[in-house]
């Protein structure tokens, strides 16, 4: 059998390589939700509608 050894770490600590994707995903979510929240509804609807057609998803 092979024993796996792990280096001791704190339970709540995040390394920089793990925290960066989390922070980037959070900021992207804020930009997407904030951007659509302040956009006119017709513009957001048309953008979503055009995107659905561009990926081949029938929406009507």
Mean pLDDT, contiguous 10-residue spans, the chain (60 residues) = 64 79 96 86 89 86
Candidates 31, 28, 27, 59; CA nearest to 45 is 59
pLDDT reported for residue 11:
58
- The greatest distance separating any two alpha carbons of the chain, rounded to the nearest whole angstrom, comes to 63
For residue 57, the model assigns a pLDDT of: 85
Q: Which residues 6+ apart lie within 8 Å of 59 measured at CB? A: 49, 52, 53
**Cα 39 from chain centre:** 20
Dig out the tokens for 33 from the structure: 């939700």
């Amino acid at each position: 059998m092979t024993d796996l050894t792990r280096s001791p770490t704190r339970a709540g600590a995040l390394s920089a390589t793990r925290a960066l994707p989390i922070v980037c995903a959070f900021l992207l979510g804020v930009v997407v939700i904030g951007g659509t929240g302040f956009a006119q509804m017709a513009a957001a609807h048309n953008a979503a509608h055009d995107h659905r057609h561009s990926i081949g998803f029938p929406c009507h």
